[in-house]
Chains A and B, each alone.
Chain A
Amino acid sequence: MLHIKCPHCGMRSQNEFSYGGDASVKRPELGKEISNQDWDSFVYNRKSLRGKHWELWQHLSGCRQWIKVERDTATHEIFNTLKANEEIL
């Protein structure tokens, strides 16, 4: 079970969180023209990397904040966590 540091609450066990996918995906702006290909990429295509990866988690059974977590998908090592409004460097 992972141990995730919620930037709002501190260290918590994985079972308080739910996974939310790749954090680097940006939703296209509402009402803006977008090609089929770009839209498909946004909806469906994910890199699913082996290694370091920024992902979204929601502290569901805690503060309910969505957070960004930098995790190694192979080793589960967690390097960093950020609040929703903090930019990934």
Chain B
Amino acid sequence: MTQSFRLENVGLINREKKLSFKFNGKSYYGFEGDTLASALIANGVHLIGRSFKYHRPRGFFGAGVDEPYAIVQLYRNGETEPNIKATEQELFEGLEATSVNCWPSVNFDIGAINNFLRIFLPAGFYYKTFMWPKSFWYKVYEPFIRKAAGLGIASIKHDKERYEHKYEYCDLLIAGSGPSGLASAYAAAKNGARVILAEDKARFGGTLLTSEVNIGNKSGKEWAEGIIAELKEMPNVTVKNRSQVFGYYDHNMLVMSERISDHLPKTKKFHPKQKLWYIRAKEVLISSGSIERPLVFGNNDTPGVMLSSAAKEYLKVYGVLVGRNPLIFTNNDSGYETAIEFKKNGVDPVILDTRKDPQSEIVDEAKNLGINIKFSYVVVAAQGYKKVKSADIAKISEDKERLGSVENIKCDCICVSGFWTPTIHLASQSGNKTKFNEDIDAFVPGLSKQNETTLGAANGCYTLNETLKTSFQTAHELSKKITNNDKKISFPNVVEKKSTIHDKFWCVPLPKGKNYKRFLDFQNDVAVSDIEIALKEGYRSIEHVKRYTTLGMATDQGKTSNLNGLQLVSRIENKVVPNVGHTTFRPPYTPVSIGAIVGREVGKHSKPTRKSPMHKWHEQNNAIFVDAGVWLRPRYYKQGNENLFEGSKREAKNVRTNVGVCDVTTLGKIDIKGPDAAELLNRVYTNAWLKLPVGKARYGVMLREDGIVMDDGTTTRISENHYHMTTTTAQAANVLSHLEYYLQLVWPELNVNVVSTTEQWAGAAVAGPKSRDLLQKLFPKSDVSNEGLPFMGFIEGDLFGVKARIFRISFSGELAYEVNVESDNGNFMWEKIMEVGQEFKIQPYGTEALSTLRIEMGHVAGSELDGRTIPYDNSLEGLLSKKKDFIGKRSLNREAFIAEDRQKIVGVVPLDKKTSIPEGSHLVKDSNATLPNPKLGYISASCWSVEHDNPFSLAILKNGKNMIGEKLFVMSPLKNKVIPVEIVSSHYVDPKGERVRS
């Protein structure tokens, strides 16, 4: 294919570099610097897709971020991405794209039948029709809608690309590099401010690239290039193209997405595809420009109808003609600029101006060039299905109510200009209450809410001289406030053509006997008639009209449709636009890829991974790991073909018969120092702490103020004013915050310091009947006899030259010790324990065996202390001091907490002694009761008791105290299980606790 619509010697593309690409399987060529849109138009391709509801043919409407139509499925380097705007996607060698929303193909589309049935598809159609009959929904309506509608297809493959996040601070963030953005960046940078200048497109300069102006004896484009070159050299300036500031959040934080690699065939090694910038700016200058407004007439969605500013951009930036026989339909001077560009490049346009007799320099220039201009003329309807072939035009009466006789003129594109809509999204997101400006029939920012200032076209200012002047001035003042510098730059001489006022007319009446669709929202197919229906049906609030008709709810968020929708509602309702109000602008301004939002927090990076110092050893010894919060803990150490059940049973059994060792480094550890340390413990724990001697540990339970158990653990008195607290793995961070809260805010008079030492100590639990023999060999110089180191005792020892803390505490219910050494010595400790333990048949055990051991002993853990239970429920009421007050005590006399039949922990054994009980199952009296079957309790933890060799569970059961010996049923509807069980004591092994003291 030849690029038959490409002009010679016009545009900013690099003609030296030809790029090949494919669209819908067909090969084309474009140039470096093209967008997919400009390259397709250069090749005469105008049919891109199908519309959302009626599946009408779709072409190009804009040339950038405002594009409602040209959405494609992109293929790049073996990956696919949906919903890419062809007007934003830069061309690269080998690019492939396909149409979306077409089935089976863009040229023959089944859904287009909706177009002929459109009389049946008015506003609210989906709400009304597909609701009935209900049985039709899943089998008929939904599959049909799914197949025929929808946009692109998301890849189900893992995204190999890398996305990064960056946090940045600056004095001034400037969003948009058009005239106001460049001028303000330059003035602020010269005055010493730290500036970030962000441009959405690949090229800086905005409208300066396409308008015929002169600044300081340079063309707009040359002036822009000069400023950018200078800014790039300044150390206090960051200049970013392909970067969209899409969200304005609280406290002047803005988020910008930078497309670093999307324009390349393949992301470079070690480069991200996109980068998300979180920018905290002292001041924000919004120079986001404005978007041209469409004019509304019959079939105004036909491919070939597009914004006149887009046609000008395709011509001046890309050297591409959107048509050879253009019709310009305008209500203001902007359309003339496009016509003049056509004329200069040897193409004869026709201008239809809704105005009767406009007088301005631009209009005069068009006249002088001999352009055919028809005043008081409108396009009634575009003709042609897949591309504009001609236009029905007519003269319009002065009151704009009546049309003259309709004529048909040949044309291959219709460039429309309905004046300009300032891009106020960022200002509105910041909380700025926008105001309606009658002069331009659009909303502009009102009083600033945060530190934001809107400049230039985004503020409704449409003369270059005025824009540059205010931008220079504002940026100077703002930067002066921040830097205290007062360096002014000289203001350049500006030459621009003067324009005259626009016509407020924008919606062409229907000719008699015709019911052409006149579209407002081009992506969601919302027409004038849909708004009329919504209003007739009683919808009044613009927010309701929007949702009922889906106006402005497509992926373009109504950038070209919102204001015309508002104008229509206000006209029908006979209100002025400001009283109708606009819908809320919400971030993101333009779609942002999920990858960019997620950044690098994917897969194993989605949360930190904490490993104990013995992790390597566990890995080398076939540990199967399990997530415990952010920690990785060995679940069991696999031997041969063992599964989890077999392995954990073997390990637990070995603890009960010989000796085992378990990595308990993950337990939370808090170092507590100070003369009031005992007093603090006495207040936060439920039991008494003032008389704990040095060298002794004590088990403690702490509550929340509402009486619910928060955590448990042992705390040891290391020396007079020094304690070592342990917490559960899960609650470690919360307990520290809890202590800090009380020390800093409630009892600042207590002289205590707390600090986390979880990572400073490596811990090994040595448990089993042979643990003392092992310990004696590990610490030959220490007395670890029952007298020298009694239950709940603490000594310091020497582990082959390494200082160790030895606590005689037990979670497994066996005779057990916990050895702590400084983390760096953790692996040494572990290897020594394993080495010396050989003769005692030591085996490491994981969390699964640990659970088994504690469950059959009836020791509570996280599954019982789940934020819903009080001490009594866990049979911990013996630890509640009657003599002193403590956190949460006052709540324990609540009626439900002291009820006679209060829930309590019990043991549960299946009658057949074989069937394992699923955790989370419910306990009921009658398995055949009518639903809802009253629930008496729930299974909190289950294991295979190695002591009794049958299943055993713990449960929290209503009236548990009096239920021992009762026969109930365990029901698990999820697993479809009903198991007859007997309720037993929660202490299934060694109920008197003799082993730990032996």
Mark A residues whose CB is within 8 Å of B: 1-3, 13, 18, 20, 27-28, 30-31, 34, 39, 42-44, 56, 58, 60, 64-66, 75-76, 78, 84-85
Judge whether B249 and A1 touch: CB under 8 Å: yes
In B889-942, the 8 Å CB interface with A consists of 890-891
Judge whether B885 and A31 touch: CB under 8 Å: yes
Known: A43-B706, A60-B737. A30 touches B683 (CB 8 A): yes
Distance, CA A28 to CA B280, complexed state (A): 41
Q: Which of B250, B431, B890 contacts A1 (CB 8 A)?
A: B250
B740 part of interface (Cβ distance < 8 Å): yes
Distance from B95 Cβ to chain A, minimum over Cβ atoms (Å): 36
Interface string of B248-266 (1 = CB under 8 A from A): 0111110000000000000
Distance, CA A18 to CA B741, complexed state (A): 12
Distance from B759 Cβ to chain A, minimum over Cβ atoms (Å): 15
Judge whether B431 and A2 touch: CB under 8 Å: no
Distance, CA A76 to CA B891, complexed state (A): 34
Interface string of B671-685 (1 = CB under 8 A from A): 000000000000100
Known: A39-B890, A43-B705. A65 touches B744 (CB 8 A): yes
Interface-central residue, B252, B886, B890, by most chain A CB under 10 Å: B890
Distance, CA A75 to CA B249, complexed state (A): 11
Interface-central residue, B253, B280, B745, B884, by most chain A CB under 10 Å: B745
Give the A-B pair count, Cβ closer than 8 A.
54
Judge whether B706 and A58 touch: CB under 8 Å: no
Interchain residue pairs with CB less than 8 A apart (19): A1-B251, A2-B251, A3-B251, A3-B252, A18-B737, A20-B741, A27-B705, A27-B746, A28-B890, A30-B885, A39-B891, A43-B705, A43-B891, A56-B745, A58-B741, A65-B744, A66-B741, A84-B744, A85-B744
Contacting residues, chain B, for A27 (C-beta < 8 A) = 705, 746
Which residue of B has the minimal Cβ distance to A1?
B253
Contacting residues, chain B, for A28 (C-beta < 8 A) = 890
Judge whether B253 and A66 touch: CB under 8 Å: no
Known: A43-B705, A66-B744. A75 touches B431 (CB 8 A): yes
In B263-283, the 8 Å CB interface with A consists of 278, 280
Interface string of B640-683 (1 = CB under 8 A from A): 00000000000000000000000000000000000000000001
Distance from A3 Cβ to chain B, minimum over Cβ atoms (Å): 4
Distance, CA A44 to CA B167, complexed state (A): 38
Distance, CA A43 to CA B431, complexed state (A): 35
Judge whether A58 and B746 touch: CB under 8 Å: no
Contacting residues, chain B, for A84 (C-beta < 8 A) = 744-745, 748
Contacting residues, chain A, for B748 (C-beta < 8 A) = 84-85
Distance, CA A31 to CA B882, complexed state (A): 11
Q: Which of A2, A30, A43 contacts B250 (CB 8 A)?
A: A2
In B130-187, the 8 Å CB interface with A consists of 167
Known: A31-B884, A84-B745, A85-B748. A1 touches B278 (CB 8 A): yes
Contacting residues, chain B, for A18 (C-beta < 8 A) = 737
Interface string of B867-901 (1 = CB under 8 A from A): 00000000000000000111000110000000000
Which residue of A has the minimal Cβ distance to B251?
A3
Interface-central residue, A3, A27, A30, by most chain B CB under 10 Å: A30
Distance, CA A58 to CA B733, complexed state (A): 12
Mark B residues whose CB is within 8 Å of A: 167, 249-253, 278, 280, 431, 683, 705-706, 737, 740-741, 744-746, 748, 884-886, 890-891
Contacting residues, chain B, for A58 (C-beta < 8 A) = 737, 740-741
Of all A-B residue pairs in the complex, the 3 with the closest CB atoms, nearest first, are A3-B251, A31-B885, A84-B744
Distance, CA A1 to CA B255, complexed state (A): 10
Contacting residues, chain B, for A30 (C-beta < 8 A) = 683, 885-886
Distance, CA A20 to CA B746, complexed state (A): 13
Distance, CA A22 to CA B745, complexed state (A): 12
Distance, CA A27 to CA B249, complexed state (A): 35
Distance, CA A76 to CA B253, complexed state (A): 13
Which residue of A has the minimal Cβ distance to B252?
A3
Contacting residues, chain A, for B886 (C-beta < 8 A) = 30
Given contacts A20-B741, A44-B706, 10 further A-B contacts (CB under 8 A): A2-B251, A3-B252, A13-B253, A27-B746, A30-B683, A30-B886, A34-B890, A56-B745, A66-B744, A78-B251
Which residue of B has the minimal Cβ distance to A67?
B744
Judge whether B705 and A42 touch: CB under 8 Å: yes
Distance, CA A1 to CA B278, complexed state (A): 10
Contacting residues, chain A, for B251 (C-beta < 8 A) = 1-3, 76, 78
Contacting residues, chain A, for B737 (C-beta < 8 A) = 18, 58, 60
Contacting residues, chain A, for B431 (C-beta < 8 A) = 75
Contacting residues, chain B, for A78 (C-beta < 8 A) = 251
Judge whether B253 and A3 touch: CB under 8 Å: yes
Distance from B865 Cβ to chain A, minimum over Cβ atoms (Å): 19
Distance from A6 Cβ to chain B, minimum over Cβ atoms (Å): 13
Interface-central residue, B251, B706, B886, by most chain A CB under 10 Å: B251
Distance, CA A42 to CA B746, complexed state (A): 13
Judge whether A3 and B891 touch: CB under 8 Å: no
Distance from A17 Cβ to chain B, minimum over Cβ atoms (Å): 12
Which residue of A has the minimal Cβ distance to B746?
A27
Contacting residues, chain A, for B705 (C-beta < 8 A) = 27, 42-43
Distance, CA A78 to CA B251, complexed state (A): 9
Which residue of A has the minimal Cβ distance to B737?
A58
Contacting residues, chain B, for A75 (C-beta < 8 A) = 431
Contacting residues, chain B, for A66 (C-beta < 8 A) = 740-741, 744-745
Judge whether A64 and B891 touch: CB under 8 Å: no
Distance, CA A30 to CA B889, complexed state (A): 10
Distance, CA A74 to CA B859, complexed state (A): 47
Distance from A11 Cβ to chain B, minimum over Cβ atoms (Å): 9
Contacting residues, chain A, for B278 (C-beta < 8 A) = 1
Distance, CA A26 to CA B431, complexed state (A): 35
Distance, CA A64 to CA B743, complexed state (A): 12
Distance from B606 Cβ to chain A, minimum over Cβ atoms (Å): 16
Distance from B432 Cβ to chain A, minimum over Cβ atoms (Å): 12
Distance, CA A65 to CA B736, complexed state (A): 12
Distance, CA A85 to CA B280, complexed state (A): 30
Contacting residues, chain A, for B280 (C-beta < 8 A) = 3, 13
Distance, CA A2 to CA B249, complexed state (A): 8
Q: Which of B252, B740, B746 contacts A64 (CB 8 A)?
A: B740
Distance, CA A84 to CA B745, complexed state (A): 6
Which residue of B has the minimal Cβ distance to A33?
B890
Contacting residues, chain A, for B744 (C-beta < 8 A) = 65-66, 84-85
Distance from B368 Cβ to chain A, minimum over Cβ atoms (Å): 55
Distance from A66 Cβ to chain B, minimum over Cβ atoms (Å): 5
Distance from A32 Cβ to chain B, minimum over Cβ atoms (Å): 8
Distance, CA A39 to CA B889, complexed state (A): 11
Distance, CA A43 to CA B886, complexed state (A): 14
Which residue of B has the minimal Cβ distance to A27?
B746
Which residue of A has the minimal Cβ distance to B895?
A36
Judge whether A76 and B250 touch: CB under 8 Å: yes
Distance, CA A60 to CA B737, complexed state (A): 8
Which residue of B has the minimal Cβ distance to A26?
B746
Distance, CA A84 to CA B747, complexed state (A): 11
Distance, CA A25 to CA B168, complexed state (A): 37
Distance, CA A46 to CA B609, complexed state (A): 37
Distance, CA A85 to CA B621, complexed state (A): 52
Distance, CA A60 to CA B431, complexed state (A): 29
Which residue of B has the minimal Cβ distance to A3?
B251
Distance, CA A8 to CA B96, complexed state (A): 55
Contacting residues, chain A, for B167 (C-beta < 8 A) = 13
Contacting residues, chain A, for B249 (C-beta < 8 A) = 1
